Structure 1
């Protein structure tokens, strides 16, 4: 699973992928999976990276407050804890929805770099547990 961050500092990858990427946005995981299948059926070998707008806090209610009524429904939205986000990303990978994600903060108050590194540690722990 490739992991990108998109914030005021620009778009940067926290993982080391060598495939060229194409970023996509979708309002739900089913549509994202169809888009990935269509892209991957082409002749180019591209990694499909799904945009996910995130609000991470210690609990769901606190995280949910980061989204306001003007937020777009054009991207997958996640509000919750880092552990829940790790679970979502694992499901995205397992179900073949995308080859990676771009995390986009739902609000300016999110420390996206910290969240990204916490997610990477969570994914690594999950992979180690599966290998055992």
Structure 2
């Protein structure tokens, strides 16, 4: 997880492999960038997140298309599905959640998403 600036980040999981943060505007570009990096590091994809009861209410909190990082607006369940898809498709080994608004509790969001991801991917538990 990261603060709103995206500069200060904390890993919520453990691992011994060096981590490389990656920003890409979409999953295809993220996958290409991962391939260029090779397999020596764990790739962590930046995702700017806006969470709400549905897509329409969450999207209002997105900063607009910044062209640099993947953006997600929707529910926690949808976010968990996106993260699971990113992992299964080998786009990245993990994600950094960057809050779209300063009022978003990223730690609470990450914990809730991690629980749902573990339900989708038993290996994540």
Tell me if both proteins adopt one fold, taking TM over 0.5 as the criterion. Answer: yes
Q: Please give the alpha-carbon distance, in whole angstroms, between the structure 1 residues aligned to 2:16 and 2:114.
A: 18
Matched, 1:54 2:49: yes
Unaligned runs of 5+ in 1: none
- Matching residue within 84, 94, 102 for 2:96: 102
Write out aligned runs for 1:69-80 (5 A). Answer: 69=64, 71-80=65-74
Deviations 1:13-58 (CA, angstroms, capped at 9, x unpaired): 11112110111101110010010011015xxx20111100000111
Unaligned runs of 5+ in 2: none
- Matching residue within 11, 14, 32 for 2:30: 32
Q: Which residue of 1 aligns with 2:21?
A: 23
Q: Please give the alpha-carbon distance, in whole angstroms, between the structure 2 residues aligned to 1:21 and 1:68.
A: 26
Runs of 4+ in 1 over 3 A off after TM superposition: none
CA shift, 1:124, in A, is: 1.1
Larger fraction in strand = 1
Bigger Rg, which one: 1
Q: Normalized against structure 2, the TM-score is what? A: 0.89
Q: Which residue of 1 aligns with 2:114?
A: 120
